[in-house]
């Protein structure tokens, strides 16, 4: 698994699932995950349950996704963060831009 996407049955929730490393090598795959078939999406969930490492480029990718979709998507969530990743998100104050669960 690298970057997977799951669209809910009603097409309103897009879940993007990342593997153990979320870094610059995932730029294109991450963009592709939210680039198409999202006409009715109102919630985007980024699942970091498998992610053990993320760098500043991953933070940038999350912000770029939010900027790109902000006209359409009203709810951005980051879920299942492991402790090391959760600490990066907390230090970076991502709780101000995303719902973190």
pLDDT digits (tens, 9 = 90+) for 6-53: 999 999 999 999 999 999 999 999 999 999 888 999 999 999 999 999
**Structure-token pair, residue 20:** 């153990």
State whether residue 62 is helix, strand or coil.
helix
pTM exceeding the 0.85 threshold for the entire prediction: yes
| pLDDT, position 1 | 62
CATH of domain 3-100: 3.30.750.24
| Helix, strand, coil percentages in the chain from 3-state DSSP, rounded to 5 | 35, 25, 40
Rounded CA-CA distance 5/11 in Å is 12
The domain spans of the chain are: 3-100
Banded pLDDT at 55 (limits 50, 70, 90) = very high
How confident is the model over 85-100, as pLDDT tens digits? 999 999 999 999 999 9
| pLDDT, position 47 | 98
**Structure-token pair, residue 101:** 């669960």
């Amino acid at each position: 698994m690298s970057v997977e996407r799951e669209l809910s049955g009603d097409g309103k929730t897009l879940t993007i699932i990342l593997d153990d490393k979320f870094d610059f090598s995932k730029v294109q795959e991450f963009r592709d995950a939210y680039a198409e078939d999202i006409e009715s999406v109102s919630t985007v969930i980024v699942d970091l349950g498998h992610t053990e490492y993320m760098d500043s480029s991953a933070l940038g990718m999350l912000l770029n996704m939010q900027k790109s979709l902000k006209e359409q998507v009203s709810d951005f969530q980051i879920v299942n963060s492991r402790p090391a990743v959760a600490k990066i998100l907390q230090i970076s104050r991502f709780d101000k831009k995303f719902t973190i669960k």
